[in-house]
Amino acid sequence: MTTVFIISAPSGSGKSTLVNRLMAEVEGLTFSVSCTTRAPRGSEVPGQAYDFIDRSEFERRIAADEFLEHAEVFGNYYGTHSSALDKAKAAGKDLVLDIDVQGAAQLKKRIPDAVTIFILAPSREILEQRLRARSQDSDETIRRRLNDAMGEIRNYGQYDYVLVNENLEPAVESLKSIVRAERVRRVRVEEKIRPILATFGQE
Ligand code: 5GP
CB of 99 sitting under 6 A from ligand 1: yes
Is 40 within the bounds of a domain?
no
Is 161 within the bounds of a domain?
yes
Cα 99 to averaged position of ligand 1 atoms, centre (Å): 5
Give residue 164's pLDDT. Answer: 95
Is 52 within the bounds of a domain?
no
Is 159 within the bounds of a domain?
yes
CB of 33 sitting under 6 A from ligand 1: no
Cα 97 to averaged position of ligand 1 atoms, centre (Å): 9
Is 153 within the bounds of a domain?
yes
Mean pLDDT by runs of 10 across the 203 residues of the chain is 95 91 98 97 89 98 98 94 97 97 96 97 91 82 88 94 96 98 94 93 80
Instruction: Output the domain CATH number for residue 132.
Output: 3.40.50.300
Range of the domain at 193: 4-32+93-198
Cα 124 to averaged position of ligand 1 atoms, centre (Å): 20
Please choose from 5, 69, 100 the residue to mutate so as to test ligand 1's pocket, defined by most ligand atoms within 8 A of CB: 100
Is 182 within the bounds of a domain?
yes
**pLDDT per position as a tens digit, 134-156:** 767 788 888 888 998 989 999 99
Closest ligand 1 atom, CA of 76? 2
DSSP the chain: -PPEEEEE--TTSSHHHHHHHHHHHSTTEEE-PEEESSPPPTTPPBTTTEEE--HHHHHHHHHTT-EEEEEEETTEEEEEEHHHHHHHHHHT-EEEEE--HHHHHHHHHH-TT-EEEEEE-S-HHHHHHHHHHH--S-HHHHHHHHHHHHHHHGGGGG-SEEEE-SSHHHHHHHHHHHHHHHHTSHHHHHHHHHHHHHHTT--
Cα 71 to averaged position of ligand 1 atoms, centre (Å): 8
Please choose from 7, 73, 150 the residue to mutate so as to test ligand 1's pocket, defined by most ligand atoms within 8 A of CB: 73
Look at the chain and report how many structural domains it folds into.
1
Cα 188 to averaged position of ligand 1 atoms, centre (Å): 28
Give residue 141's pLDDT. Answer: 85
Is 114 within the bounds of a domain?
yes
- Please give the model's pTM, rounded to 2 decimal places: 0.93
Closest ligand 1 atom, CA of 35? 19
Q: Whose CA is nearest to atom 18 of ligand 1?
A: 79
Cα 77 to averaged position of ligand 1 atoms, centre (Å): 9
Is 118 within the bounds of a domain?
yes
Give residue 12's pLDDT. Answer: 83
